[in-house]
Amino acid sequence: MPLQSRPVNVLRVTDARKAFGPTWSRAATSACARGCTKALDGASLELREGEMLGLLGPNGAGKTTLVRAIAGRVRLDGGAIELFGRALQGGEGRTGLGVVPQEIAVYPLLTARENLEVWGRLHGVAAAEIRPRVERALQWTALADRANEPVKRFSGGMKRRLNIACGILHEPRVVLLDEPTVGVDPQSRERIYEMLAELRGRGVSLLLTTHQLEEAEARCQRIVIIDHGRVAAAGTLGELVEATIGARRGVTLTLDRLPATPLVGFDPDGVDRRLTTRVSDVAQELPALLQRVAAAGCKVLDVEVRSPSLHAVFIHLTGRELRE
């Protein structure tokens, strides 16, 4: 039997803790007095080499604080961060890390080329190396034909692509992306994910925060769901589904009328004339379900079968309450 190589962790966060508020209110990191907010409460995650890890969570769950802590912009009260196996202290030791902020953090009066040049230099790219890397970045972002235009004239999608390019010009091996596709059209989103896939193809590991659950489901190899500063679940989509809502499919039947007596195993959907249930094997169980409904004197107008989704997992783990 061939030996399976263990995945290499390029980034590891262990028991990260951070509270915000007046100093007196967070004197003890284990407890948070009045006026203090726990942003991180023991969060841990691992990013493996060459993967795209989706970091999901409701608003205020601690995603941005965790990303900023990894980027060296937030000093943790407790816990540890390791990059390539080396513990990070303060803001040092992050030369192999790239950060793409949620904001379009580029200079609007500079051209795309000028922005790439200055951000490359600021990230330590040698002067002799700048030109070829900028040219590659312009090709990569499909901005070569607009390279000499001020960025303020760009569309949202173009700015987003440039924003990403400015963060990876120094060729980091780990890139943190905070909502890189927010506010862009489907075409630009597609292009951005193509760019990220190219990065992965070069062996770059990506940690991506997003609220686009379908995208995370489709693009990320693994997912971490964080809530209240703690990791609620982590793993592949299948693992998350198995660990939370189970692998059974959801089935919704739309009827001409509801049966006179409730059918065992079915739940009202909340919508008029609809029943829901769950099945493990659609091919085996669905015909029997339809026969039971017909026997109850109801006519089936429509059948919907749903796979377990990340959305369902997310709601299962984080609830439906608003977090603002």
- Should residue 25 be labelled a site residue for other proteins when binding is judged by CB under 8 A? no
DSSP state of 147: T
Tell me whether residue 50 or residue 167 sits nearer to other proteins (CB atom): 167
Q: Which one of residues 43, 71, 175, 237 is an interface residue with other proteins (CB under 8 A)?
A: 71
- Should residue 180 be labelled a site residue for other proteins when binding is judged by CB under 8 A? no
Angle among Cα 209, 42, 236 to the nearest 5 degrees reads 45
CB of 142 to other proteins, least distance (A): 22
CA torsion 290-291-295-300 (nearest 10°) is 30
What distance in Å separates the CA atoms of residue 307 and residue 274, rounded to the nearest whole number? 18
3-state DSSP of 238-303: HHHHHHCCCCCEEEEEEECCCCCCCCCCCEECCCCCEEEEEECCHHHHHHHHHHHHHHCCCCEEEE
What distance in Å separates the CA atoms of residue 137 and residue 18, rounded to the nearest whole number? 36
- Should residue 123 be labelled a site residue for other proteins when binding is judged by CB under 8 A? yes
Six-digit token string for 211: 């609220």
Q: Which one of residues 85, 91, 262, 297 is an interface residue with other proteins (CB under 8 A)?
A: 91
- Should residue 74 be labelled a site residue for other proteins when binding is judged by CB under 8 A? yes
- Should residue 75 be labelled a site residue for other proteins when binding is judged by CB under 8 A? yes
Tell me whether residue 74 or residue 293 sits nearer to other proteins (CB atom): 74
What distance in Å separates the CA atoms of residue 41 and residue 32, rounded to the nearest whole number? 10
Q: Which one of residues 15, 103, 272, 304 is an interface residue with other proteins (CB under 8 A)?
A: 103
Tell me whether residue 104 or residue 296 sits nearer to other proteins (CB atom): 104
CB of 180 to other proteins, least distance (A): 13
Q: Which one of residues 102, 212, 244, 309 is an interface residue with other proteins (CB under 8 A)?
A: 102
Q: Which one of residues 22, 73, 202, 256 is an interface residue with other proteins (CB under 8 A)?
A: 73
CB of 232 to other proteins, least distance (A): 24
Contacting positions for other proteins (CB under 8 A) = 20, 68, 71-75, 90-91, 94, 99, 101-108, 119, 122-124, 166-167
